[in-house]
């Protein structure tokens, strides 16, 4: 029988400056810049406010209710990585908490994104370990079933491959394929510059309907003004 479970030790990662530029841009800007793709849905909520992080994904595919493979993943993480944990079927169990975060932080991992649940949320906040999770649950889990580390996984309808750039902030989580990271950073910066110019126009009192040329569209759509 073929071995269906694997821990891949070495993965390609994006350049640090590209990651920093994507972090600077933030989730919504990056999502727009790559053609409104990569957003992992409204279900992934941050455990803290006003935090923005970006880093290469180390991916985990776990059996639901089982954190064995998270422990196995710690060893292959490098400083600056983001751990992405998924389960092979839906689970809200608290498979990650402050002990695992302590272990990851010792290796320089900057945060966790999980399609399952976390616990010890106050301690995670206190220690400054950044978490985006589908649920918060005290429900404990076991360390019993095999899974994989650094294989492509599905997170909120988005495929995350090892080394893809995960950007996360108050708006949620967006995933940029590794091969697109450089271009995405460039496009995101262009978008930031464009938005800065638009902000000045709007601040001066010019209306969006004029700035974006929307009066003709409103008329085309049959929208009439009345007093
Ligand atoms: O130990 C566990 O199963 C999860 C947890 O609470 C921790 O990592 O602190
Ligand atoms: Mg705990």
How many domains does the chain fold into? 1
pLDDT of residue 99: 98
Give phi and psi for 104, each to the nearest 5: -65, -40
Query: What percent of the chain stands above pLDDT 70?
Result: 99
Domain containing residue 112:
16-186
Model-level pTM?
0.96
Q: Is 220 annotated as a binding residue?
A: no
Residues in the 5 Å CB sphere of ion ligand 2:
97, 99, 120
Ligand closest to Cα of 137 equals 1
The verdict on residue 216 lying in a domain is no
> Averaged over 49-75, what is the pLDDT?
98
Q: Is 195 annotated as a binding residue?
A: no
The verdict on residue 204 lying in a domain is no
Closest ligand 1 atom to 119 CA: 6
Q: Beta strand pairing status for 53-62 and 82-87?
A: parallel
CATH number for the domain including 129? 3.50.30.40
User: Radius of gyration (Cα) for the chain, nearest Å?
Assistant: 20
Which 3 state secondary structure label does DSSP give 154?
A: strand
* 9-30 pLDDT per residue, tens: 999 999 999 999 999 999 999 9
Closest ligand 1 atom to 123 CA: 9
The verdict on residue 143 lying in a domain is yes
pLDDT of residue 119: 98
* 140-162 pLDDT per residue, tens: 999 999 999 999 999 999 999 99
Count of all residues that appear for the chain in the document: 227
| Burial environment of residue 153 by CB neighbours within 10 A (0 to 12, 13 to 18, 19 or more) | buried
pLDDT of residue 11: 98
The verdict on residue 54 lying in a domain is yes
Q: Is 120 annotated as a binding residue?
A: yes
> What span, in angstroms and rounded, lies between the C-alpha atoms of 8 and 185?
27
Pocket test of ligand 1: the residue of 91, 96, 121, 129 to mutate, having most ligand atoms within 8 Å of its CB, is 96
Is 104 close to ligand 1, i.e. is its CB under 6 Å away? no
Does the pLDDT value for residue 1 go beyond 60? Answer: no
pLDDT grade for 2, boundaries at 50, 70 and 90: low
* 106-139 pLDDT per residue, tens: 999 999 999 999 999 999 999 999 999 999 999 9
pLDDT grade for 31, boundaries at 50, 70 and 90: very high
What is the b/e burial string over 49-87, where b = at least 16 CB atoms within 10 angstroms of the residue's CB?
eebbbbbbbbbbbbbbbbbbbbebbbebbeebbbbbbbb
The verdict on residue 182 lying in a domain is yes
The verdict on residue 29 lying in a domain is yes
Q: Is 99 annotated as a binding residue?
A: yes
The verdict on residue 3 lying in a domain is no
Give phi and psi for 111, each to the nearest 5: 180, 175
The verdict on residue 214 lying in a domain is no
Ligand closest to Cα of 142 equals 1
Closest CA to 82 of 7, 147, 180, 169: 169
ipTM reported for the complex, 2 dp:
0.98
Is 117 close to ligand 1, i.e. is its CB under 6 Å away? no
> Averaged over 189-209, what is the pLDDT?
98
Ligand closest to Cα of 98 equals 1
């Amino acid at each position: 029988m073929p071995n269906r479970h694997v821990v891949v030790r070495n993965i390609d990662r994006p350049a640090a400056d590209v990651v920093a530029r994507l972090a600077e841009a933030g989730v919504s800007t990056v999502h727009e810049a790559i053609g409104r793709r990569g957003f992992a849905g409204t279900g992934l909520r941050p455990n803290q406010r006003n935090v923005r992080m970006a880093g290469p994904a180390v991916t985990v595919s776990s059996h639901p209710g089982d954190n064995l493979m998270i422990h196995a993943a710690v060893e292959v993480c490098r400083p600056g990585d983001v751990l992405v944990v998924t389960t092979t079927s839906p689970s809200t169990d608290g498979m990650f908490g402050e002990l695992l975060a302590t272990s990851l932080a010792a290796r320089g991992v900057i945060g966790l994104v999980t399609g399952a649940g976390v616990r010890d949320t106050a301690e995670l906040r206190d220690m400054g370990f950044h978490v985006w999770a589908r649920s918060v649950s005290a429900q404990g889990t076991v360390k019993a079933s095999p899974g994989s580390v650094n294989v492509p996984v599905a997170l909120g309808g988005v495929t995350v491959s090892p080394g893809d750039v995960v950007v996360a902030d108050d708006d949620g989580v967006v995933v940029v394929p590794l091969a697109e990271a450089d271009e995405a950073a460039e496009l995101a910066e262009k978008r930031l510059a464009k938005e800065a110019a638009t902000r000045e126009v709007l601040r001066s009192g010019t209306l969006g309907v004029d700035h974006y040329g929307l009066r003709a569209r409103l008329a085309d759509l049959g929208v009439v003004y009345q007093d």
